[in-house]
Amino acid sequence: MPYLVSFHLGWLIGSVLLGFCMGWISVVQRGNGTSKVTARWLAALAAALVAASFAHVVPGRFGYWLDLGLIMFACYLVGCTIGAWLRDRVVARSMRAG
Amino acid sequence: MQKLFRWASKWWPGLIPLAVMWGFAAWNNTLPVEADLSARSSAALKGTVLDKTRIAVDGRDVSLVADAFSEEGRRDAVTAVETVPGVRLVDDRTRLVPEAQPFVWNAERDVVRVTLSGSAPLPSIKGRLTEAARKEVGGAEVADQMGLARGAPPRFEAAAMLLLDQIGKLKDGKITITDTKVSLSGMARELGGREAIAAALKNLPEGFSVAANDVKAPPYIFQAYKDPVAATVTLTGYVPDNNVHAAIATSAARKFFTEKVVDNLKASLGAPGSFNTAVVAALGALSRLSTGTLVVSDREVKLSGDALYEGAANDIRAGLGKDFPKNWQYKPEITVKPAPGPVDGTVCQQLFTDLLAKGKIRFTPKRADIDPDSAAILDHLIETALRCPTVNIEVAGHTDADGEDGFNRALSEKRAQAVIDYLVKAGLPASRFTAVGHGSTQPVAGNDTDDGKAQNRRIEFLVR
């Protein structure tokens, strides 16, 4: 894990930034987003991929790509969370001020 | 929390650019990651002892192919790769090198090269053995045909190194270690080489023993060449030590009364038993030849050349065998020199005088027994006497002034008679010779010095 992080640091920072932007937008975006059922399916898919990664069942280069994808995805989620939370604070403050 | 789920339901569009980024990241980084992990794995294996190591990286999975020299070494190698940061899985394709039963190692020497074959226990030992062989044989080529195998006896390297030290002492041959047994065969490069190898083998490491040592010594050669034109006798080859060297040189100087002795002998170990006796006897025979070659090779004596007359040839052919120690072989190839033309009495007298000026007939002190070293001059005197068959010859004996006159006179006459007996035995008619003993009455030099006395003790041949 530390090796993967240090080797792909640039790409991971990119993922975090992408996530940050997406999170920032998501707070004020109108619309319904994904349905609960779809979200559950997506979560289950993610969990299955993480399990496959930890169990080392995917061989060779595909295994490496899976690990890389998951770690980028994790960074994206972290970026999204931070972005959404900060935007939420900003929105709340402006509403109080308004 | 509710808020977070609400936000999160709107994060999915970002997954599309994320997937694109992922694709680029994978495209860009796969080969660098594989190269990096391959380099790190190789570095991790630096400290381990392996043969035929091959590392292949697929993604973050390393496939390790190698021959290990012990179970522990094999496990250590796999662990070393497993602990390289970033490696996900190790495909362990290592195996132990085969065990040699029996464990055989050979070093074979011929004229131009040394071939090392059989098994070595470790690559480092293999390298050191090749290096040692190269150092030992200098210019010769060293061919390394050794394989690697387990099962070497303890202290194998020390034993092999000691044996490689010996390979330089061989002209050709083979040294083999079979488990703890050492066998050697071949021919030593120099005299004494066989003995040196035998001595070195006593230092074999504990546990090793010599099963067979068939190293042969080169023949021990002594040669003498009598050249009547240059009037030299050249001695070449080996003698066992300086004492024998001195004894042979002295003996040669006494036997060869007209020739100069050129001494090119070298001292060396490895002489056969009774070398001194045999060589002195053979030199005596050579001194009686007008021209000849003597070759003593181990226990074989070859003498070839021309005797001065038929009787001497027979004597040398037959008689000399008795002088040699047992288990020596004597191979004479003696021919007779063509007899020189007859001469008259005056020339004969001149020839006798010349001969006796160059050399002396020697006797045992105070007795009338002819010293065997005088065979050469007697042969020459006989040859001369045969050239003037019609003249009568007086053989006169003289002594120095030591001792009583009566004894000296009797001794000188007896000595003269002994010379005549020798001539008669060689085939000359007794009627042609008369023996006269002058004692010390006709000195040719002063009797007050040893040198003068030696000159006065003499035999003269006078044509009558």
B88-115 pLDDT, tens digit per residue, is 999 999 888 888 889 999 999 988 889 9
Residues 402-441 of B with CB under 8 A from A: none
Number of domains in chain A: 1
Whether B225 and B324 map to the same domain: the answer is: yes
Whether B39 maps to a domain, the answer reads yes
> Could you tell me the CATH number of the domain that includes residue B366?
3.30.1330.60
Partner-chain contact A26 B3, CB within 8 Å: no
What confidence tens digit (pLDDT) does each residue in A43-86 have? 999 999 999 999 999 988 999 999 999 999 999 999 999 999 99
Query: What integer pLDDT is reported at residue B294 of this predicted model?
Result: 92
Same domain, B67 and B89: yes
Question: pLDDT-derived band of residue B41, with 50, 70 and 90 as boundaries?
Answer: very high
Asked if residue B427 and residue B350 are part of one domain, the reply reads yes
pLDDT in tens, B285-325: 899 898 999 998 888 889 999 999 888 888 888 765 567 77
- Which of A27, A33, A64 lies at the smallest CB-CB distance from B33? A64
Mean pLDDT of B353-357: 90
Same domain (yes/no): B353, B456: yes
Within a domain: B384? yes
Quote the distance between the C-alpha of residue B179 and its chain's center.
30
HEC string of B254-317? HHCCCCEEEEEEEECCCCCCCHHHHHHHHHHHHHCEEEEEEEEECCEEEEEEEECCHHHHHHHH
Nearest CA distance, A93 vs chain B (angstrom): 16
Mean pLDDT of chain B: 89
Range of the domain at A82: 2-97
Q: CA-to-CA distance for B338 and B322, rounded, in angstroms?
A: 27
- Whether residues B352 and B453 share a domain: the answer is yes
Distance from B22 to chain A by nearest Cα, in Å?
6
Domain boundary among B306, B336, B366: B336
Question: For chain B, what percent of residues have pLDDT higher than 70?
Answer: 99
Pick the last residue of a domain from B312, B336, B360: B336
Say whether pLDDT at A98 is over 80.
Answer: no
Chain A residues touching residue B4 (CB < 8 angstroms): 81, 84
Task: Indicate the pLDDT class of residue B258, thresholds 50, 70 and 90.
Answer: confident
Give dist(CA B56, CA B59) in Å, integer. Answer: 10
pLDDT digits (tens, 9 = 90+) for B393-445: 999 999 988 888 889 999 999 999 999 999 898 888 989 999 999 988 888 88
> How confident is the model over B329-357, as a mean pLDDT?
89
pLDDT for position B319:
64
Q: What are phi and psi of B100, to 5 degrees?
A: -90, 130
Query: Domain with B256 in it: what CATH number?
Result: 3.40.1520.20
**Residues spanned by the domain of B261:** 221-336
B211 and B226 share a domain? no
Cis geometry, peptide bond prior to residue B102 (ω within 30 degrees of 0)? yes
pLDDT of residue B321: 56
Whether B194 and B283 share a structural domain:
no
Q: What are phi and psi of A45, to 5 degrees?
A: -60, -45
Tell me how many domains chain B contains: 4
Domain assignment of residue B20, yes or no: no
Answer whether residue B377 shows pLDDT above 70. Answer: yes
Domain end position, chosen among B289, B305, B336: B336
Please indicate, yes or no, whether residues B324 and B398 belong to a single structural domain of this protein. Answer: no
- Which B residues 57-116 touch A at CB under 8 Å? 58-61, 85-86, 88-89
Render pLDDT for B181-222 as a digit per residue (tens, 0 to 9): 999 999 888 877 888 898 999 989 988 999 988 888 888 889
Whose tokens are 């496959």? That residue is A52
Query: 3-state SS of chain B: helix, strand, coil percent to 5?
Result: 40, 30, 30
The confidence score (pLDDT) of residue A44 equals 94
Closest-CA residue of A relative to B58 is: A60
- Whether B3 is in a domain gets the answer no
